[in-house]
Structure 1
Amino acid sequence: MSDKTPPPPPTAKLQWVEQNQPFSTQFDDFYFSSTNGLEETQYVFIQHNALLERWQKPLQKNHFVIAETGFGTGLNFLTAWHSWNQCNPLTQGGQAARLHFISVEKYPLSIPDLQKALSLWPQLKDLSKELLEHYPAQPASACHRLTLDLGRITLSLYFGDATEGLRQFSPCSTKGQPCSKGYTFGQQPLVVDAWFLDGFTPTRNPDMWTPELFSTIAGLSNKGTSFSTFTSAGSVRRGLQDVGFTCFKSPGFGKKREMLAGTFVGLNNEQTNVPIPPKRGDTANHYWHLQNPAPADQSNNGVLIIGGGLAGCLTARALADRGVAVTLLEQNNQLALEASGNRQGMVYTRLSPHNNPLSRFNLTAQLFANHFYSRLFDKQSLFQLAGAQTGVLHLALSDKQEKHYRLLANIYEQSPDFCQWLNPQQASEISGIQQRFSGLWLPKSGWLSPRKLCKTLVAHPNINVQLGAQVERLTPNQHRWEAVDKFGKSLAIAASAVIANAHAARQLSQTAYLQLSSIRGQVTHIENSPDALNRLKTVLCGEGYIAPANDGIHCLGATFNLKDDNLNITQVDHSTNLDNLAKMVQFQTNDLCDLQLGGRVGFRTTTPDYFPVVGPVPNAKNMLIDFEKLRHRANAQIELPGSGHPGLYAILGLGSRGLAYGPLAAELLANLLLGEPLPIDQDLYTHLHPARFLIRDLIRDKTSTI
């Protein structure tokens, strides 16, 4: 497989016919009824899934999941969103529930076409406006996660084949084969509550309506899951019945004679998931990244989080916004005093045109972070509350960097809101200072004050912050987790726990095996900046970074000092930071004289493969026993799931990319805890899973430290 990033999916080819109706030239069909597309959606999907009736009753979960084949113009999504807001569903505990809408689309509409199509529905204009503000102009990756309506609505978009896309949300083996074992990603399985089976008719789009699609749909369903579809084709009815759905015909909308609807009952009225045999001849379908589901949903019994830096605070907010009570334990007397304590942090990753897992993760994290910090949390965005969306300019300081950045800009030339290639003159105009290098411009990124961000994130009624709470050990206590200090005092107890205390995680017995390293970094503060720096309007990244001044002080850095535990600021590191700055900004010789320099030393926590650690904490001893065969044969067939500590999770190793990696990592962790769709593809998840180090050591026949 080529290492080069594949081009984004082709956009839909449309013609606009009478009354501005979008018509697909690829499938020779209309996107919605020429009679009234909005009424068609309400009739076929809202009414025949009985959504209004279901939403008027208290929900058993804190979220309701709709999954759709064919996002198209987004009309079905917006109609469901509008109906959800009209009902304002509540959980059985009386809290506001959330709608999670999954949709797959092989041929996404361009922004202009999407805007034109949605303009037909003025009654949805406010929702359309918010969707269009965050919709990827040219899909820069397969998986996109959008949080809308102040967190009440989540949209998971997959751009690609319908079956492949839906399988990203259903547990599969490490080889991508559907799992028939009933294993889950986290504590609870993802269950789709209602299906919108849209897309073009089977006679014109036969590649979508396949037995594999129906099996995947069944695997994401449970007893009572409903479906509806505009078509009454016999192949669709038989395909759904074969995997456990009951089907009935109903009068179609407009000129269509009939449509189908029904519910999932399972095969023989016993199974709630359809078994799918592994691919013939495949002997390496491992399930170490999956686990057996918890006996019951424990999320309502609270979560305790150890660590009050970026990882802990982002996770606390992700859970609190979902109605979960969180106790956040921080050993210091303030939040974000360790690695997250810099005055300014830059929202950036190392972007690359390559298609390897780390490059794909960096791209996905950057896109999610841009969206996360720019969406409204109340009346303002986090960029407004704790920093500035100044954009980030990655300067091409070498021929290799220039080649890579140009390739990226060419791939996403239809997405100027994501990235643009700038020549030196354009870079000078954007940055406000003279540039001699070209660069890659990310207009939706910026900088944040980590400490201010953390304080903003935890200002939520569902979050209880305990400062000066130093956790000595974490112990299971009657199906719950108890955090205990060195005096034996109980600090907190909850059904689930999250370890988010960076390198200190090595001091806890459950995560002592993790391959975490600390790397010293020194940041330099300039208080009497020269005029060249005071004109800076955006973040510059090269060998180091610098942002526009915050409270009159410029922050630049940061050094990477391996195997150095010096807590003191050194002049040598100041010189390194100033040398890196001089490569990005042209100075007069006297500009660097008599600078008033300050700074800060911090220690980043990193991993050998540069991926963060996110997911269920494995029981290392049991894992080594269960997967012992891998020492002798890397493709040994092992049917067991990973062995974990029930209800225990970790989010660690964000390194120097905490602001960029943190939002996506926290979203992933919340999804795992609550049985929600994952925000990344499954292959990437295996690269983040805490058990990956144990599996790699087994395959290499190395001895793990546990």
Structure 2
Amino acid sequence: MPEALAFARLEWRDGQPVSPEFGDGYFGSDAPLEEAHEVFLEANDLPRRFARPGTRMTIAETGFGTGLNTLLTLREWRARAPDDGFLSLIGFESRPLHPDDLARAHQQLGLDGPDAERLRDGYPPPVSGLHRIPFPRARAVLTLVFGDAAITLPQLNAAVDAWYLDGFAPRRNPGLWNIGVFRQMARISRPGTTFGTYAAAGQVRRDLEAAGFVVRRKPGHGRKRERLCGHFHDPAPPALPETRERPRRVAVIGAGIAGLSAALALQDRGCHLTLFDPAGPGGGASGNPAAVLLPHLLPDDPGLNALALTGMRHTHALIERAAEGLEEGRSTLLLGDSVAFHGISAHARKRVQRLRARDPAESGYLFDPAATAPAGTPGPMLEYPGGRAVDMGALCRGLAAALPAVERTGVSAIEPHATEVRVTFDGDHPARGFDAVVIATAGAPLCPEQARLGTVGGQMTRVQHPLPGPDFRVRTGQGYWIQRDTDDHWIGATYRHDGLPADPAAPPEPTAEDDRHNLEHLAWVPGMPAPEDARITQRWTGMRAVFRDRLPLVGASRMDRRGRVMLTLGHGSRGLLYAPISGELVADRLLDLPEPLEQNVARRLSPQRVA
């Protein structure tokens, strides 16, 4: 369960940051950049390893602190990495610094450049768990893991290539330097994984050796006599009798929000992408002209709440990135900031109160329970400051602008073979082979898991009518209302299991009955016209693909035991919340990179649950 963490207490002594709690400084010498380069980058042979063609590396650091090692590593990576490389960084921190202290430290270090600004802009609130900060122009991503390493490490899915063992001195911070932590490091280390540390204590060396690391002594930096470095030696055979190279040529089938999110994450990681969708980007349900992003919280389900928290952050980042691909920019894409949820029931109010009592850090970040409903609207009201209204069609177009052109060809079959996954197309198009395939469409049945998919039709209604304003917060409760202008509004949306079209991929025909439903559901909005008086200017319908538990399937399909066929399916009406984080999960799992979700959260999305 996510927990609130206190910012680290920091004192500046002679221009150096010091922790009064641990009685130790954040920098180990008067030349912290030179020490970090020698103790961590050179000890792990990173300048040479970075320059190898096709390099995809994972570096983990215990004791993230000021971000010095991360920023120095990014600088070295930018200077040496190949164009098709990708760097995944992991930083563990139990006492996150306040952003103001981060900024001062970066200035003191002379590292206050674009990467430091990106780090501070994406720095998460002090809540335990996994937090992602992408550096797309550097072809890198940082996963910050807040909380006690002894608790967070066992929940991490990763395969690490190099370790920085940093943090306060072992005698002052024994919780980070012990056999339990080192065994968890060994669990996620590859054979041959290297490490470097400024520490040289005998107990640290003995515990590392007991966990399976080969340890060497080296001369220390500056006044320090010795330091340690070495590598992990794992004599155990691999779990599977066959191994596979990380795929480079990947086909993504489906160019909705799920497919585009996965494609962008894979392209960032150096894969060569081919996208297929007869309808083009956002041509199906992902073309919704006005969708709402808000979390779905349950007081007795911390795993689902953690997924919502992570999903909100990933979607925010993807919205900003998509805006770069649109000529009109953010104004076209983002239709409203903040979502007000009106008229929650007495039962729901009790749920919220229990959530606040059990999980104040998480719920406080996601919504403001003290918000009050304006006069004339039903209360009580919850306000989600991180909520958004988004033109999904524009979002898809913005994402597609950064990807290869979508091939408007239907896929009829997928066949895993020994050396490739073969894709067969509709019509006379010849079959093509790929290293891996991502299925992100509910169209033609391509994998056994799609047999469990259901479909739900939905209709939105655009109404021209003057309403009190201007207040461009999204309002939701029974139905939702997105105000484009003082007399231009999208309202919706229905959720129908009946009257669906014969072709599951085709949208249902709009109906006057669904217009009436949308208007009646929003009769609580002051000034909303009665159905018989409404001037309707536009309708939109779509088919949502859902599984029974309303969660998507994200992970490997059982049709290929080598894990080369990945799924991101069944996002339903919550695609804006779940699809971006699912795309990252698919890409990282396919390429054997650190995953963005804790094990117990990622397990909720596993395709095995419908096997």
TM (norm. structure 1) is 0.78
Q: Distance in 2 between matches of 1:376 and 1:132?
A: 21
Q: Residue 81 of structure 2 aligns to which amino acid in structure 1?
A: P
The alpha carbon displacement at 1:155 in A equals: 0.6
Matched, 1:542 2:535: no
Q: Distance in 2 between matches of 1:538 and 1:377?
A: 20
Deviations 1:98-150 (A, max 9, x none): 221111122222333333433422433433222111111232x5111111253
Q: Distance in 2 between matches of 1:389 and 1:487?
A: 40
| Structure 2 unmatched runs, 5+ | 502-507
Is the 8 Å Cα contact of residues 92 and 146 (structure 2) preserved in structure 1? Answer: yes
| Structure 1 unmatched runs, 5+ | 171-189, 274-290, 620-642, 695-706
Q: Distance in 2 between matches of 1:107 and 1:382?
A: 41
Name 2:462's counterpart in structure 1: 525
The alpha carbon displacement at 1:356 in A equals: 3.5
SS at match of 2:406: strand
Q: 1:255 aligns with which of 214, 223, 240?
A: 223
Deviations 1:446-499 (A, max 9, x none): 2332222222222346x35211x2222222345322222455743543121111
Matches within 5 A, 1:433-452: 437=379, 439-452=381-394
Matched, 1:296 2:272: no
Name 1:82's counterpart in structure 2: 75
Q: Distance in 2 between matches of 1:440 and 1:147?
A: 30
Q: Residue 319 of structure 2 aligns to which amino acid in structure 1?
A: Y
Is the 8 Å Cα contact of residues 409 and 419 (structure 1) preserved in structure 2? Answer: no
Is the 8 Å Cα contact of residues 613 and 688 (structure 1) preserved in structure 2? Answer: yes
Is the 8 Å Cα contact of residues 6 and 355 (structure 1) preserved in structure 2? Answer: no
Q: Residue 49 of structure 2 aligns to which amino acid in structure 1?
A: R
Q: Distance in 1 between matches of 2:72 and 2:355?
A: 35
Matched, 1:245 2:213: yes
The alpha carbon displacement at 1:612 in A equals: 0.6
Name 1:572's counterpart in structure 2: 513
Matches within 5 A, 1:189-208: 190-208=158-176
Q: Distance in 2 between matches of 1:221 and 1:589?
A: 62
Is the 8 Å Cα contact of residues 458 and 494 (structure 2) preserved in structure 1? Answer: yes
Q: Residue 511 of structure 1 aligns to which amino acid in structure 2?
A: E
Matches within 5 A, 1:159-308: 159-170=146-157, 190-264=158-232, 266-267=233-234, 270-271=235-236, 292=240, 295-300=243-248, 302-308=249-255
Q: How many positions carry a matched residue from both structures? A: 603
Matched, 1:337 2:283: yes
Deviations 1:393-428 (A, max 9, x none): 23241244445556767866799875434533xx66
Q: 2:608 aligns with which of 671, 688, 691?
A: 691
Name 2:65's counterpart in structure 1: 72
Q: Distance in 2 between matches of 1:519 and 1:605?
A: 7
The alpha carbon displacement at 1:678 in A equals: 0.7
Q: Residue 245 of structure 2 aligns to which amino acid in structure 1?
A: D
**Taking structure 1 as reference, are residues 247 and 6 closer, same or farther at Cα in structure 2, changes over 3 Å only?**
closer
Matched, 1:372 2:318: yes
Is the 8 Å Cα contact of residues 144 and 679 (structure 1) preserved in structure 2? Answer: yes
The alpha carbon displacement at 1:67 in A equals: 0.3
SS at match of 1:608: coil
The alpha carbon displacement at 1:578 in A equals: 1.4
Q: Distance in 2 between matches of 1:79 and 1:352?
A: 41
Identity of aligned residues (%): 30
SS at match of 1:350: coil
**Taking structure 1 as reference, are residues 676 and 589 closer, same or farther at Cα in structure 2, changes over 3 Å only?**
closer
The alpha carbon displacement at 1:164 in A equals: 3.4
Q: 2:119 aligns with which of 116, 121, 131?
A: 131
Q: 2:99 aligns with which of 103, 111, 120?
A: 111
The structure with the greater share of residues assigned to strand is 2
SS at match of 1:120: helix
Q: Distance in 2 between matches of 1:82 and 1:418?
A: 34
**Taking structure 1 as reference, are residues 214 and 491 closer, same or farther at Cα in structure 2, changes over 3 Å only?**
same
Q: Distance in 1 between matches of 2:118 and 2:188?
A: 29
Q: 2:292 aligns with which of 346, 350, 353?
A: 346
What is the CA RMSD across the aligned residues, in angstroms? 3.2
The alpha carbon displacement at 1:9 in A equals: 2.9
Q: Residue 107 of structure 1 aligns to which amino acid in structure 2?
A: R
Q: Residue 112 of structure 1 aligns to which amino acid in structure 2?
A: D
Q: Distance in 2 between matches of 1:49 and 1:404?
A: 50
Q: Distance in 1 between matches of 2:562 and 2:13?
A: 60
**Taking structure 1 as reference, are residues 465 and 207 closer, same or farther at Cα in structure 2, changes over 3 Å only?**
same
SS at match of 1:472: strand
Matched, 1:153 2:100: no
- Comparing 573-582 and 437-446, the one that deviates more: 437-446
TM (norm. structure 2) is 0.89
